[in-house]
Structure 1
Amino acid sequence: MTDETDDDTELSSEDILDATIAARRGSANLSYYAFTATPKPKTLELFGRRPDPEQPASKRNLPVAYHIYSMRQAIEEGFILDVLKNYTNYKVIYQLKQSSKLMTKR
């Protein structure tokens, strides 16, 4: 008679993923929030703050963002990637191609 316990059984990758997801499930009181760098006008309307809170929203009293979290700050903090880091425009690429063609002809 062999004594096999749960510790001796080999887990599949699916079993590990299921256990990880189950462990991360939150309670009913847990909320997740996402912040964007570019709020839509409707978001500003709902959550923004009017410069003069005593007056209703108008063209002169438009709601503004409560806090500004710039793209630069998000990049510096490592939350998003700098998409322009390795950007090269077509004009530069064209010039590089032309100069490389000249170099190969010599």
Structure 2
Amino acid sequence: MDQPHALLVASPGLGHLIPILELGNRLSSVLSVHFTILAVTCGSSSSVETEAISSAAERTACEIMELPSVDVDNLVEPGATVVTKIVVKMRAMKPAVRDAVKSMKRNQQS
């Protein structure tokens, strides 16, 4: 029987990314499940974000796929809260997430 495959999606921001990377690492080490983590990046070239993803990729069995963030500045008011911006950004990311899931290797069952 093929190993089950689970997907974790990390919304933008280190406060979301780091816990998802740690959760995927922990779960993959105790369960017989392959994890793919979709990391929606902040869009800016954050060296801390890049380092967190690189470090996690080196020490985990999880596959990490980076999805570049979309610009939603034209979709939110200038004074919108961070939560509102993240929600709008994740809604705008739906097509990219779907495409990433479609591109993942499917389990072949006999």
TM-score (norm. length: structure 2): 0.23
TM-score (norm. length: structure 1): 0.23
More strand by share: 2
Higher relative contact order (CA 8 A, sep 6+): 2
Could you say which structure has the larger radius of gyration? Answer: 1
More helix by share: 2
